[in-house]
Amino acid sequence: MNKFIFAIDTINTWVGKVFGWCIVLLTFATSYEVFARYVFKAPTEWAYDAAYILYGTLFMMAGAYTLARNGHVRGDWLYREWPARRQAAVELLLYFIFFFPGVLALVYAGFHFAKLSWLMHEHSAASPNGPPIYHFKTIIPLTGILLVLQGMAEVARCVMCLRTGAWPSRLHDVEELETAILHEKEYQAAHEAIEAQKAGAAEGGR
């Protein structure tokens, strides 16, 4: 089961990192628009469309990657105090009550939304020379499919936790500063406890 989980994690990690470059393109497009507008007095006709397409693509395609990293925001003031099996049981229930119905609805509606856009050869109406946006709308059902896959991996994690009483490991490539500081403090506390035990043992041996 670990191979299945890590295979999905790897796919969504690769997707997240590839589409993460959208932020570089978005920064360049926005910076160029500001420069052209205020220096050349010649604002572009494409910057607005580029901005929402790039940001929307980044936002959607990072969803499954963030889920794979357990990075979505949650109100865990109560959850964090529960034992692992209770956490897994609640998560498993919530995945089937809320997550999968919502994401499957996204795939279903997004597919028809994208299909209609392709049939219309839809272009943006937000600018005079609006670019085609049917490729952008195709991202909607694709995002839903990736979320369904990652949801399956998370369900597998919950099942493993219910069986073993411990959460299985995850792939890690980045860590929030708050988490890193917390881990550092925990390490320091453990190190100080060991040093105190050694000092106590030395005193007792004299």
pLDDT per residue of the chain (206 residues) written in tens, 0 to 9: 788 899 999 999 999 999 999 999 999 999 999 999 999 988 888 999 999 999 999 999 999 999 999 888 877 778 888 999 999 999 999 999 999 999 999 999 999 999 999 999 999 988 888 899 999 999 999 999 999 999 999 999 999 999 999 999 887 655 555 555 666 777 677 777 777 777 766 666 55
Task: Determine the pLDDT at residue 204.
Answer: 62
Domain shared by 181 and 170, yes or no:
no
Domain shared by 167 and 192, yes or no:
no
Domain shared by 97 and 188, yes or no:
no
pTM over the 0.85 mark? no
Distance CA 32, CA 43 (A): 9
Domain shared by 74 and 141, yes or no:
yes
Task: Determine the pLDDT at residue 110.
Answer: 96
Domain shared by 123 and 112, yes or no:
yes
Domain shared by 183 and 168, yes or no:
no
| Domains in the chain, number | 2
Sequence-distant (≥ 6) Cβ neighbours of residue 183 within 8 angstroms: none
Domain shared by 39 and 134, yes or no:
yes
Domain shared by 181 and 125, yes or no:
no
Q: What range does the domain containing 184 cover?
A: 177-206
Domain shared by 44 and 119, yes or no:
yes
Domain shared by 41 and 58, yes or no:
yes
Domain shared by 115 and 38, yes or no:
yes
Return the exposure string of 104-129: e unless at least 16 CB atoms fall within 10 Å of the residue's CB, then b: eebbeebbeebeebeeeebebeeeee
Task: Determine the pLDDT at residue 176.
Answer: 54
Domain shared by 66 and 143, yes or no:
yes
Task: Determine the pLDDT at residue 129.
Answer: 80
